[in-house]
Structure 1
Amino acid sequence: MSKNEQGRQSSNNTILAALRSDEARHRIRNSRRFTLNDIALISEAYARHGNAAGGPWDEFRNTHMILPDWFRADLDPLSDQYRQQQERLWQAISGTERNYDPSVDEQEVEVRADPVRHPGYIVARDPSAIANAGDHVIAMGMIMKHSGLRAGNWALEYGAGFGQTALMLARMGVNVDTVDISPTFCRYVKEQADFFQVNLTPFQGEFGLNPRENQKYDLIFFYESFHHCLDFKNVLNSLKDHLAPGGKILLAGEPIQETNLAIPYPWGLRLESEVVAVIRNRKWCELGFTYEFIQDVFTTSGFCAAPKIPCPISQFGELHTFTLRAGRVSLNSHGMSARDAATWHAPDPSGRWTKERSCLTLDSSNSFEVLEIHAINHHPFVQTLDVTYGNQHARVEFQPGEQKVIQLNAATKNPVIVFESRTFVPASDYPGNPSTHANSPTPPTAPQDQRALGIFISHLEYV
């Protein structure tokens, strides 16, 4: 091929690429959706122009990626197969053929900052910088307010970055350790600790590391970092050994939401355009989670979830807290996911009534051998309860007013237990006034109660 022919071919290829680019832009603008094949276009626009309003990024803003045809939506989100599929999706979005490696892929963007005078968000000067800083300050306040800490306690932050919340806690007399994969951020945290002469110590490492081996922490927290943790199941298992008695884990500034276009599954890579561009350009792992999945994964790992702490003025300040599961779990106070709670009646002072079929997510770690269910038949009738736990099935008959402890072998763990029984409506099914039933240990329910009630379960015991 002559040089003139090569020149014409190159020109034709350039024109063809421009036409395809225009077609893709038109399709994305109209549908607000894009595919894997469009990521190069989107990531280049983000890298060249950023995400400033009124600029070239506007045509891609708030658009979302369509999952590829090979993606399966029927996998168990706690399974290894589900995680492997997410790793394959990361490879496709990042344009990388190897496996994700946080020690390689979670490196910080080049940062040149004065960590004492202008750390983190304080150095920004763009039009939204002060409003954005406000979000971070609000989040810091929420973390401190709900930390439960006092001077002399120990706290551990994972993925601390510049460690502004860690620094403030240390200035308040808390002993604080930070763990970050970045040696640069560890150095910045140390410079701040040295300047303020506080008990703040950075350690380079990955999520789950106990930097002091046997140290127990009163608070372990993640701020804008847990969503970079692909190996969260193993990390949670490690964190159980790091918590002090009565300690808590706290998540803040995390993309934990209801299912939407950005998070169309229980957990996985977020599919909004800006995040996809970041994954392609920086190779970071950018996860999102649904509320139910976060509760499920912590519960199955041996924790109890407290109700979400909302922050109406900033999503950054929304908190999710978890404590170690106790041996006895009272159903009147146990935090259930919305999915589980919908299968039960609202809590009573001493427990909870089942419906016709009630489900409960359980700890499935290797921390117990027997599961005990403490149940009472408050009805003035014989009641039969069917209990299913994995491959085990028990049918238990209760006489009126009878209380029983149902023991299940937990050598093989299952994340869910199911209770099934006939239900009775006191207002229409009870003869006379049941509140004076002689064999009932506590008043069961008012005779005018219109609820369809199964069996009353006071608590569970992990033995």
Structure 2
Amino acid sequence: MTGFAALLEAIGDGVPDTAQYRQMADMVLDVPGAAALARLDPFSPAYREAALALYLSLRGRPEQGYEPGRDEPPARPPPDDPWTGLVPWSFRDASMASEHLFAYGHVLRHLGIPPGGSVLEYGPGSGQILLTLSRLGYRACGVDIDKAALGSITQQAHHLGLAVETERAGFGDGFDGQRFDAILFYEAFHHAFDFETLLIRLHDRLRPGGRLVLCGEPVVRAPTRAIPYPWGPRLDALSVFCIRRYGWMELGFTHDYLVALARTTGWRARLHRFAPAHRASLYVLEPITSRPIVPTLRAPVSWRLRTPLRASAHALAEMRRTLRRSSAQV
């Protein structure tokens, strides 16, 4: 915690610069009680309660609970110059900006929308993807609870002569329940604590043949020190900083859990990796049926049984590869 405390003192009331951002992203904090979460069934109400309690312990003010309208404020006021003051340009770092530009391109490649089709983006942030979609002739719609962010997007669109529609609402809401050819979350889905209900609701927001794209989400192949459980608050210093400073919900997921979650809420999930920049890796979710699986029929096999078996299978496969390499060298 000493290094984290020193970083907090250096940042003060400001926001992390690029060097501090990277330093905190690589730093993992030891949080009491985190290990207990990994022993619970991640689909159970007890797990959900424990995950929320862990978030509240990191944020402070546990008696207030979590309310997205209050606890997801902007990090800072809109910049005077949106062309240089918004993400990714505000990083003033070519390498950092490239990660976002890679991600934008990967999203465009996998949206799967017809010419002139429609996209609904939740949590569009600085609006760079929406502006690009509008330039390409798509109907670009954005929903956010941050009024200032929406205003900045509208300002940019007006200056460029583009049609970008925005509406202030929460995840799953907005635009009077209209259906779209694609729905996008870019670095936004992990802010949804009630993500299971959200995934069920999103079935009603897609047109037939549509898809849901999750990009830039903190998903790991297997539990790590920063995400030591199937899902829950991330424990890297950058995430904890955002939880404490702003109150943001900063969740992380394992790949196996996210795929199982998608299946139990009626989606088929496919991962598309992007090796040059992990931020650009994305999941494409397509409806399995018109109705999600009935909650009482979910997870017929115990998660606590299935996960160790999968880990053992991976370990056995690695052992076999090692033996083959050894044999080849003899």
TM-score category of the 2 structures, normalised to the smaller one: 0.7 to 0.9
1:154 alignment counterpart: 118
Query: Using the alignment, how far apart are the partners of 2:36 and 2:188 within structure 1?
Result: 26
The TM-score, its normalising length taken from structure 1, stands at 0.59
Mapped contact 2:38–2:228 kept (Cα < 8 A): no
Q: Does structure 1 residue 300 correspond to structure 2 residue 184?
A: no
Paired residues of 2:215 and 2:283 also in contact (CA < 8 A): yes
Instruction: Give how far 1:87 is off.
Output: 1.2
CA distance in structure 2 between the aligned counterparts of 1:116 and 1:42, rounded to whole angstroms: 28
Q: CA deviation at 1:114?
A: 4.5
In structure 1, the residue matched to 2:70 is 104
Q: Could you give the per-residue CA deviations for residues 353-375 of structure 1, whole angstroms, max 9, x where no partner exists?
A: xxxxxxxxx95337xxxxxxxxx
Asked if 1:285 corresponds to 2:214, the answer is no
**Counterpart selection for 1:228 from 188, 191, 196:** 191
Q: Secondary structure at the match of 1:190?
A: helix
Secondary structure of residue in 2 paired with 1:240: helix
Partners of 2:168 and 2:24 lie apart in 1 by 40
Larger proportion of strand? 1
Q: CA deviation at 1:417?
A: 6.3
Q: Output the CA distance in 2 between the equivalents of 1:274 and 1:47.
A: 14
Partner of residue 206 from structure 1, selected from 152, 170, 175: 170
| 2:123/2:188 contact within 8 Å kept | yes
81, 91, 94: which one pairs with 2:59?
94
Check the 8 A contact 2:134/2:140 in 1, yes or no. Answer: yes
How many angstroms apart in 1 are the aligned matches of 2:254 and 2:160?
A: 39
| TM-score, reference length from structure 2 | 0.82
Aligned to 2:277: 314
Q: Matched residue pairs, number?
A: 299
Q: Is the alpha carbon distance of 1:109 and 1:46 closer, same or farther for their aligned partners in structure 2, counting shifts above 3 Å?
A: same
What residue is the counterpart of 1:193 in the other structure? 157
Distance 1:283 1:142 in 2: 30
State the identity %. 29
Per the alignment, residue 448 of structure 1 pairs with: none
Q: Which has the higher helix share?
A: 2
Structure 2 residue identity aligned to 1:365 = V
Selected match of 2:300 from 410, 416, 427: 416
State yes or no: 1:133 paired with 2:97. Answer: yes
Match of 1:121 among 87, 98, 117: 87
Structure 1 unaligned regions, length at least 5? 1-23, 30-38, 328-361, 367-411, 419-463
Aligned to 1:298, what secondary structure does the other structure show? Answer: helix
- The answer on whether the counterparts of 2:118 and 2:180 sit within 8 Å (CA) in structure 1 is yes
Partner of 1:406: none
Distance 2:146 2:19 in 1: 34
Closer/same/farther in 2, CA of residues 184 and 53 from structure 1, 3 Å limit: closer
Deviations 1:311-330 (A, max 9, x none): 11111110101001147xxx
Confirm or deny: 8 A CA contact 1:93 1:280 kept in the other structure. Answer: yes
Matched residues in 1 for 2:234 and 2:71: separation?
A: 17
In 2, are the aligned partners of 1:267 and 1:289 still within 8 Å (CA)?
A: yes
2:58 touches 2:243 (CA, 8 Å); kept in 1? yes
1:365 paired to 2:294: yes
Residue by residue over 1:298-339, the C-alpha shift from the partner in whole angstroms, topping out at 9 and shown as x without a partner, is 110011112x11111111110101001147xxxxxxxxxxxx
How much does 1:73 deviate? 3.0
Choose between structure 1 and 2 for higher RCO, CA contacts under 8 A separated by at least 6 residues: 2
**Correspondence 1:39-58 to 2 at 5 A:** 43-44=8-9, 46-47=11-12
Question: In the alignment, which of 277, 288, 291 is matched to residue 325 of structure 1?
Answer: 288
* Cα displacement (A) at 1:65: 2.1
Larger radius of gyration: 1
Taking the aligned partners of 2:285 and 2:37, their CA distance within structure 1 comes to 31
Residue deviations 1:241-275, cap 9 Å, x none?
00111100001111011210000000000001222
Structure 1 residue 86: Cα displacement: 1.2
Q: Secondary structure at the match of 2:141?
A: strand
Residue in 1 that maps onto 2:140: 176
